[in-house]
Amino acid sequence: MKTAALFAGLAAATLVGTAGFASDLFDRIEAGRYQAILGDCSACHTRPGGKPFAGGEPLETPFGRLVPSNITPDPETGIGRWSYEDFRSALKRGIGKDGKRLYPAMPYPAYSSMSDSDIADLWAYFQKVEPVSNRVVSNQLPFPFSIRTVMAGWNLLNFSPKEFQSDPAKSAEWNRGAYLVNGAGHCGTCHTPRSLTGADKGGEFLRGGNLQDWFAPSLTGDPHKGIGAWSKDDVVAYLKTGANRFDIASGPMAEAVAQSTSKWADSDLQAVATYLKDVKSDGTAAPKPVAADEQAMVSGKAVYFDRCSACHVSSGQGQPSLFPTLAKAPLVNSTDPSSLIRVVLAGSQAVGTAAKPTTPAMPSFAWNLDDAAVANVLTYVRNSWGNAAPAVTPGQVKDMRASLRK
């Protein structure tokens, strides 16, 4: 009698358990899909126009070429033979299946602070991704960087796996924002300056970084080089639609907005804004602007009025949602002018999102402006209307031209 009752009870529990498991699994896969969006996995692991997660475009790092791997569940060429532990270890410690060390172009230093439950969700999702047979030779680095165990030393120097520590003194929203910015969102991968070994400079978190000839500006509250003038709503609008009253995303941030942040939950964007508005700047004062009567400024002004003012307006105000404001813009006031030189030479297309589908583009001026003219017009832009930043030299323009034409 007792046994029968036990069996009946077990059977019932199993039934309930199975049903619960099925819907639970669906929820976990969906949650994992969202984690993949937060982490923007496809930015690197999907080739433009290619099968999702089947391997991406080569990354040209300062150390050599790396090709993002196939992370579909294909057993031969993807991660089909990986266990959950292998997957977790790759994200948490930068060590994949069979102890194979990842290169930190894969932002595991950021992903290491993702929670186990979020990683488990992501794992559930990646097991349901369509398996694609596509062999990727990830490691195309030159010696000695081609030796993966070199990364053990790198990790020793630059990386300690860390769990996200919430700050009880801050609000739940702030902590959610901190978790997203530091973890899955891996904002610091571009926006934090790198050391000589290619690691984040921990003490300079989100103060602006240079990656692949783009400079990602400071996200701190710096009123001159950062987003001190942006309200929370400005931050949310930028991440959700690609544009706010000051700026419109282009370059690598256009991809980040299109594929990732525009698909984040509004509550998560609010949390990110709350956190970012609280990130402290380095506190350095703005430099003195280059004097308006210097030759470079006067020449640059002539170029600006002839080639730039039709869109960016003679006062540098631009047009909301179409042409970025140049006056008091973080990127314009940044010490590193790489992104500015780059967009003047090559042009740039702004992001298109469901909310802002226009994709206005800046034309290329490489054919029309010589190195001195590009340098002068940027020196003028960087030192007018309240802006102040070091003058751009023709040599910097020459180097960027050569680098982009490679």
Partner 1 sequence: MPLRPQSRRQFLSSTGMLLLAASMPASAAEHSGTLPWRPFAALPPDPLPGGRWYVFTPEEARTVEAIVDRIVPSDDLSIGGKEAGCASFIDRQLAGSYGTSDRLYMQGPFMPGLPTQGYQGSAAPAARYRDGLAALNKHSRDKLGGKAFFELAPAEQDQVLKDFEAGKVEYKASAGFFNLVLQNTMEGFFADPIYGGNKDMAGWKFIGFPGARYDYRDYVTAHNKPFPLPPLSIGGRPEWKTGSR
Positions that interact with partner 1 (CB under 8 A): 295-296, 298-299, 301-303, 305-306, 309-310, 313-314, 345-349, 352, 357, 359, 361, 363-364, 366-369, 372-373, 376, 404
Nearest-approach distance from CB 367 to partner 1, in angstroms:
4
Task: Tell the smallest beta-carbon distance from residue 358 to partner 1 (Å).
Answer: 9
CA distance 38 to 254: 15
Residue 210 or 359 having the CB closest to partner 1: 359
The candidate with the shortest Cα–Cα distance to 362, out of 379, 384, 339, 329, is 339
For partner 1, the closer CB: 213 or 278:
213
**Least spacing, CB of residue 317 vs partner 1, in Å:** 12
Q: How far apart are CA 55 and CA 40, in angstroms?
A: 14
**CB 41: neighbour CB atoms within 10 A?**
25
Distance (Å, whole) CA 237 – CA 56: 29
Q: Which amino acid is at 75?
A: P
Structure-block tokens of residue 166: 């919430």
Q: How far apart are CA 112 and CA 88, in angstroms?
A: 9
Of 64 and 352, which has the nearer Cβ to partner 1?
Answer: 352
Question: Which CB sits closer to partner 1, 143 or 367?
Answer: 367
Distance from the first to the final alpha carbon of the chain: 82
CA distances from 118 to 38, 139, 166, 286 (A): 11, 28, 16, 41
User: What residue type is 241 in one-letter code?
Assistant: T
Tell me whether residue 178 or residue 249 sits nearer to partner 1 (CB atom).
249
What is the closest distance, in whole angstroms, from the C-beta atom of residue 218 to partner 1 in the complex? Answer: 25
Work out how close the CB of 334 gets to partner 1 at its nearest, in angstroms, rounded to a whole number.
Answer: 21
Q: Output 91 or 375, the one with its CB closest to partner 1.
A: 375
Coil, helix or strand at residue 133: coil
- Kindly state the tokens that stand for 123: 């794992």
Contact call for residues 388 and 287 (beta carbons, < 8 A): yes
Reading the block at residue 65, the tokens are: 């070429």
Tell me the C-alpha distance between 357 and 71, whole Å. 30
- Write down the least CB distance from residue 366 to partner 1, Å: 6
For the bound state, the minimum distance from the C-beta of residue 79 to partner 1, rounded and expressed in Å, comes to: 29
Report which of 116, 351, 335 is spatially closest to residue 240, judged by C-alpha positions. 351
CB-based contact 107:189 (threshold 8 Å): yes
Which residue, 136 or 296, has its beta carbon nearer to partner 1? Answer: 296
Q: How far is the CB of 252 from partner 1 (least distance, A)?
A: 13
Smaller CB distance to partner 1: residue 86 or 255?
255
